Amino acid sequence: MYILQLCLGLLFINCCVCRMVHLSSSDNAQPESNPNNEYKQLQIIFEAKNLEFGFPSESERQAVLNDGRYNPHSVLPIDVDVYYSPKNGLPSIFVTIPRFGPGTPYSLAYLTDVQRPNGTELQPYPSYEWHSSHGRDCNGLTSVCRVHIDPCGRIWILDSGEINNVQFCSPQIVVIDLGTNQLMHRYRLPAGTFKPTISRFVTPYVDVADPPPKGLCQRVFVYMADATGFGIVVYDVMNQHSWRIENKYTYPDPDFSTHTIAGQSFELLEGTIGVTVTPINLELPRFLYFHTFSNELQMAIPLNIVNNRSNWNNGLDSVLSKFSVLGKRGVQCAASAMTSAGVLLCGHYEPIGLFGWDIRTPYTPENRILLAHNPIALQFVSGLKVIKNPWGREEVWMLSNRVQRAFTGTINFNEINYRILRCGVDELLQGRPC
Ligand SMILES: *[C@@H]1O[C@H](CO)[C@@H](O)[C@H](O)[C@H]1NC(C)=O
Ligand SMILES: *[C@@H]1O[C@H](CO)[C@@H](O)[C@H](O)[C@H]1NC(C)=O
């Protein structure tokens, strides 16, 4: 485990060095042919050559640029989530930028309407002060990889507490009410549920068993993927307990540590990344679905087993027989999301696009449907959400980021690297224009 972790550390150091060397080089740029409707056209919400950060003042921008707290060429957006205000139906769009090194000025932001040279300006959320200590203030946010906005209008922010595996703070979940922007709840992971300097918590999934309009939004479980500690932490919010799931199925498979996207390869041996659960209204037994990043297996385990703390006292052996390998994908996929009708979505590397699988069918190649083929716009879908809009329709939101270029130091800042895209779930499933 230590050796794996070392490799991850080295990977990021290498990648920063490469980036500096290749900064102004565009010889790796491949010409992007005009898709000519050959590929699925998605609604473009955001496109950027690079992220453009807004600051409280121009002098603050200069200060952090000068001392390295902001390095425009070392920031990588990972996740997107959306909150439609019930007052006016307008969306607030959130973006995460985890801190893999010192150059990320803030790690959770929202999109503004302000246009800057390389893309739309971001602003920090909930405020600049929550981020500006870069790990020294554990009441702030240290590094956020993904978030989850629940049906009750709350954003659940999963903060890994580390920067480049220096564990500044305990990992934590911070919950903010998006109607008032007030802090509602904070939970710091207790010792034993994470591995300091090894764990990196990357994905939260929030399951509300009593959603509105009838429910009180109190019966909540959060499932947190620990990609580099190779586990899942379950947080029972009502009872204020958490426990760790870790076994051979939450580990990566070395045969899938080489990631090849659009002809470029990088090495990454990471564990659990995608976690979702069966929707509550389907009258099906409920399952936690998960997969690890460097692996081809799609896994499932009954939710009542996951949610019962007393099942998890035997370490790697705990209820191992309750885990099902649903099938093998033959290729990696990153973030996943589930529609309310039970279609599990994931962005695959080859062919490059968004795939959907109906959870009532066997996990076979015929049942994994290519819903959106687009090797230009969907080179790496690292953020994926299914959102119900104020008009009652479900939408898929994606953030794509060309991670293979970031990891190999070959980002070409003259082309579009980051996109936020949208399409209706029905439009995707029925093959209609978005
Ligand atoms: C925006 O693009 C210009 C020209 O490529 C570059 O000089 C500048 O550093 C970029 N700014 C950011 C924030 O990436
Ligand atoms: C939790 O699991 C234990 C066995 O590990 C079982 O005895 C108990 O009944 C379960 N509790 C619930 C509420 O299902």
Pairing mode, strands 119-124 and 52-53: parallel
Q: Check if 413 has its Cβ closer than 6 Å to any atom of ligand 1.
A: yes
Q: Check if 71 has its Cβ closer than 6 Å to any atom of ligand 1.
A: no
Identify the nearest ligand to the CA of 105 by its number: 1
Ligand 2 atom 5 nearest Cα: 311
* Averaged pLDDT for residues 67-86: 96
Ligand 1 atom 1 nearest Cα: 118
Per-residue burial over 51-64, b = 16 or more CB atoms within 10 Å of its CB, e = otherwise = bbbbbeeeeeeeeb
Instruction: Return the CATH number at 224.
Output: 2.120.10.30
* DSSP E strand boundaries for 284-414: 287-292, 297-302, 324-328, 333-338, 343-348, 353-358, 368-373, 381-388, 394-400
Measured from the Cα of 118, ligand 1's closest atom is 1
Amino acid at 379: Q
What is the pLDDT at residue 97? Answer: 98
| Token pair for 156 | 């659940």
What is the pLDDT at residue 393? Answer: 96
How far apart (Å, rounded) are the C-alpha atoms in residues 398 and 97?
A: 15
Ligand 1 atom 10 nearest Cα: 118
Cα–Cα nearest to 296, from 326, 262, 260, 340: 326
What is the pLDDT at residue 18? Answer: 26
What is the pLDDT at residue 17? Answer: 26
Answer whether residue 61 shows pLDDT above 90.
yes
350: helix, strand or coil: coil
Answer whether residue 258 shows pLDDT above 90.
yes
Kindly report whether the peptide bond that precedes residue 213 is cis, defined as omega within 30 degrees of 0: yes
Answer whether residue 432 shows pLDDT above 80.
yes
| Token pair for 167 | 């564990």
Give residue 414 CA to ligand 1 midpoint distance, Å.
Answer: 9
Instruction: Answer yes or no: are the C-beta atoms of 338 and 344 closer than 8 Å.
Output: yes
Residue 150 pLDDT grade (very low, low, confident, very high; cuts 50, 70, 90): very high
Domain contains 7: no
Residue 31 pLDDT grade (very low, low, confident, very high; cuts 50, 70, 90): very low
Burial group, residue 314, by CB count within 10 angstroms (0-12, 13-18, 19+)? exposed
Domain contains 124: yes
Phi, psi of 431 (to 5 degrees): 70, 30
Domain contains 103: yes
Residue 363 pLDDT grade (very low, low, confident, very high; cuts 50, 70, 90): very high
Ligand 2 atom 13 nearest Cα: 308
The edge-to-edge listing of strands for the beta sheet with 220-226 is: 201-208, 220-226, 231-236, 241-245
The edge-to-edge listing of strands for the beta sheet with 182-188 is: 144-149, 154-159, 172-177, 182-188
Pairing mode, strands 381-388 and 394-400: antiparallel
Give residue 221 CA to ligand 2 midpoint distance, Å.
Answer: 17
* Averaged pLDDT for residues 186-207: 97
Q: What residue numbers bound the domain in which 228 lies?
A: 12-430
Residue 405 pLDDT grade (very low, low, confident, very high; cuts 50, 70, 90): confident
* Averaged pLDDT for residues 262-290: 94
Domain contains 76: yes
How far apart (Å, rounded) are the C-alpha atoms in residues 207 and 309?
A: 16
Domain contains 4: no
What is the pLDDT at residue 386? Answer: 98
What is the pLDDT at residue 3? Answer: 28
Answer whether residue 262 shows pLDDT above 60.
yes
pLDDT tens readout for residues 283-338? 999 999 999 999 999 999 999 999 999 999 999 999 999 999 999 999 999 899 99
Q: What angle do CA 75, 186, 126 make, to 5 degrees?
A: 45
What is the pLDDT at residue 408? Answer: 85
Residue 4 pLDDT grade (very low, low, confident, very high; cuts 50, 70, 90): very low
Domain contains 297: yes
Ligand 2 atom 14 nearest Cα: 308
**Distance in Å from the first CA to the final CA of the chain:** 44
Residue 37 pLDDT grade (very low, low, confident, very high; cuts 50, 70, 90): low
Q: Check if 133 has its Cβ closer than 6 Å to any atom of ligand 2.
A: no
Domain contains 110: yes
Mean pLDDT for all residues in the chain: 90
Answer whether residue 101 shows pLDDT above 90.
yes
Phi, psi of 6 (to 5 degrees): -60, -45
Per the structure, how many domains does the chain have?
Answer: 1
| 262 vs 241 pLDDT, higher one | 241
Cα–Cα nearest to 131, from 139, 122, 141, 123: 141
| Rounded alpha-carbon distances, angstroms, from residue 328 to 13, 46, 344, 421 | 33, 33, 15, 28
Give residue 166 CA to ligand 1 midpoint distance, Å.
Answer: 29
Query: What share of the chain in percent tops pLDDT 70?
Result: 91
Identify the nearest ligand to the CA of 319 by its number: 2
Domain contains 404: yes
